[in-house]
Structure 1
Amino acid sequence: MRRKFSPRKTAKVLLPPTLFIVMLILVCSGGNGSEKNDDYEIVPVETQSDNSTLSAAFLDADTVSRHLACLDSMPPKTIKMKVNYLGKSMGTVFNDSNHVHWADAEKIGIKPLTDTRSHWNMGCDIVKITTCEEYYIDRLTFSRPYLVPDAAVTLREIGQRFRDTIAARGGGDYRIKVTSLLRTPRSVAKLRRRNPNAIDSSVHQLGTTFDISYANFIANSDEIPRSVDDLKGVLAEVLYAMRKEGKIWVKCERKQPCFHITARKRNKND
């Protein structure tokens, strides 16, 4: 005898396992899906925010941040300052050849960074150069803010002697502006397309060489206004003295208004 089909009985039998399977699917998809993904997306954002806050706190505590403040431009009216001019043009006085720059740079410099692997085999240490009381680092396009230790000390000495000389002649709160530091062979190749002086300045690859502008200076205050020409003269005096002391080689670039400077090996007493 054939049993009569009963929809109600069938529903009672199938409903519990069906509901169980549906709930299991929802739980699994909810636990392994959107919520976990949301946590994965949110946590890094919160972490980055915390890190940014910490970084800002450390930056404020560091000496770098307070030295970034400066005037947007040089004071319009200036007070004349005593300058001991060198008697000849800058190009004549500061005309050290690329050969002498290279000869001393190879003694204390790194190996050119030809590829990523070479970054781990530079031959000597380098230090990061940041804006400080003695100098201001300009926005760098074709170079990176690094120098070998001897060059870093030399750069700081130039900046300090520049400021000391101004203070001794009546005052004024000014700094030198550094426009180029360490370069790679690739950045030199790119720069040569725009700047013919780059051929002579390829010694930047050794981390011993930096450029200081003589057309732009950083004014921290306009309390005692000084002219660009006078500041250029003071900077030239400092470089001339340090060159005589055997600490640097200098080339006065004309198309790019800067002093191209290579640090020489320093004595232990310096």
Structure 2
Amino acid sequence: MIYRPSCLILSVATAICLILPGCGCSRDKSDTSASEHAASELGALPDSVPEDGFVKMKIYPIGGSLARVFNDLNQVHVDEAKNIGISPIESPRSAWQIKRPIKHIESCDEYFVDNLTHSVPYLVPEASSLLKEIGQRFNDSLQARGGGNYKLKVTSVLRTRGAVKKLRKRNINATEESAHQFGTTFDISYTKFICDSMTVARTQEDLKNLLGEVLKQLRDEQKCYVKYERKQGCFHITARKYKQ
């Protein structure tokens, strides 16, 4: 569903209120998080891979290590994010000032949205479409190489300025000018994958490299910028403006 400013106060603002300290909102203990509900609905198993019985998968080279290939600078991400994204959100009230439509994302066949603690699950349409395409290509590639029901895990999405400042205190990679503030950027874990069923067991390393193949294709198609984050164990991905 795509949200425009008229209904953002009931969606984005509410979600933002839950991650901003001292805003007067709280989450009832009886409430179930979106990710927990999605896991129940989708039957998702823990984000781990089996301990044995692996079936190795054919992995194709991408021209270097993941860290070397996916090394787009933060400023490159930020510049593109400013070009196609929303204005950074300072508070729930500032959600009214969003001029671009944004889309709520939730767990689906293509990916699983983690229990977000420093971000909210909203993206501009370009980024939402990119995320879905990454998941679709990952699933298709996995099935083409013998199967296995694994799903990508989204660990961070839209962040407020306050959330970015809070993260900077403990995370060296959470820069003051983060592309996550513009609704164009999301993180996908490469250390954890959601296993929907125990069909064909795959290694975490193979799944990570398969995801790398998918991202390399999309990056070559000029659909995104990608940074391989070592300490955070994720791919930091920013959507690019559609090319005609």
The TM-score normalised by the length of structure 2 is 0.80
Equivalent pairs counted in the alignment come to 208
C-alpha displacement at 1:187, in angstroms?
A: 0.3
* Alignment CA distance shift 1:232-1:181 (3 Å): same
Residue in 2 that maps onto 1:231 = 207
- Which structure 1 residue ranges, 4+ long, deviate > 6 Å from structure 2? none
Q: State whether residues 188 and 234 of structure 2, in contact with CA within 8 Å, keep that contact through their aligned partners in structure 1.
A: yes
Kindly indicate whether residue 51 of structure 2 is the aligned counterpart of residue 76 of structure 1. yes
Q: State whether residues 192 and 198 of structure 1, in contact with CA within 8 Å, keep that contact through their aligned partners in structure 2.
A: yes
* Alignment CA distance shift 1:201-1:228 (3 Å): farther
C-alpha displacement at 1:87, in angstroms?
A: 4.1
Task: Provide the secondary structure at the position in 2 that maps to 1:197.
Answer: coil
Any unmatched runs of 5+ in structure 2?
A: 1-31
C-alpha displacement at 1:64, in angstroms?
A: 5.1
Q: Provide the alpha-carbon RMSD of the alignment.
A: 2.0
Distance in structure 1 (CA, Å) of the matches to 2:86 and 2:171? 24
Task: Provide the secondary structure at the position in 2 that maps to 1:249.
Answer: strand
C-alpha displacement at 1:116, in angstroms?
A: 3.1
Q: State whether residues 67 and 132 of structure 1, in contact with CA within 8 Å, keep that contact through their aligned partners in structure 2.
A: no
Kindly indicate whether residue 225 of structure 2 is the aligned counterpart of residue 249 of structure 1. yes
CA displacement, residues 43-72 of structure 1 (integer Å, 9 cap, x when unaligned): xxxxxxxxxxxxx9xx9xxx9576531222
Any unmatched runs of 5+ in structure 1?
A: 1-55
C-alpha displacement at 1:258, in angstroms?
A: 0.3
Task: Provide the secondary structure at the position in 2 that maps to 1:176.
Answer: strand
Residue in 1 that maps onto 2:84 = 108
Distance in structure 1 (CA, Å) of the matches to 2:90 and 2:218? 32
One-letter code of the match for 1:254?
R
As a proportion of its length, which structure holds more helix?
A: 1
Task: Provide the secondary structure at the position in 1 that maps to 2:132.
Answer: helix
Q: State whether residues 189 and 233 of structure 2, in contact with CA within 8 Å, keep that contact through their aligned partners in structure 1.
A: yes
Q: 1:97 aligns with which of 73, 77, 84?
A: 73
Task: Provide the secondary structure at the position in 1 that maps to 2:120.
Answer: coil
C-alpha displacement at 1:98, in angstroms?
A: 1.3
Q: State whether residues 130 and 137 of structure 1, in contact with CA within 8 Å, keep that contact through their aligned partners in structure 2.
A: yes
Distance in structure 2 (CA, Å) of the matches to 1:75 and 1:94? 28
Q: State whether residues 177 and 217 of structure 1, in contact with CA within 8 Å, keep that contact through their aligned partners in structure 2.
A: yes
Residue in 1 that maps onto 2:188 = 212
Distance in structure 2 (CA, Å) of the matches to 1:87 and 1:230? 16
* Alignment CA distance shift 1:149-1:256 (3 Å): same
Q: State whether residues 249 and 262 of structure 1, in contact with CA within 8 Å, keep that contact through their aligned partners in structure 2.
A: yes
Query: Bigger radius of gyration, 1 or 2?
Result: 1
Kindly indicate whether residue 125 of structure 2 is the aligned counterpart of residue 149 of structure 1. yes
Residue in 2 that maps onto 1:20 = none
Distance in structure 2 (CA, Å) of the matches to 1:112 and 1:246? 24
The TM-score normalised by the length of structure 1 is 0.73
Distance in structure 1 (CA, Å) of the matches to 2:39 and 2:78? 34
Q: State whether residues 158 and 180 of structure 2, in contact with CA within 8 Å, keep that contact through their aligned partners in structure 1.
A: yes
Relative contact order (C-alpha < 8 Å, sep 6+): which is higher? 2
Q: State whether residues 176 and 212 of structure 1, in contact with CA within 8 Å, keep that contact through their aligned partners in structure 2.
A: yes
C-alpha displacement at 1:76, in angstroms?
A: 1.6
* Alignment CA distance shift 1:200-1:175 (3 Å): farther
Q: State whether residues 155 and 187 of structure 2, in contact with CA within 8 Å, keep that contact through their aligned partners in structure 1.
A: yes
One-letter code of the match for 1:116?
P
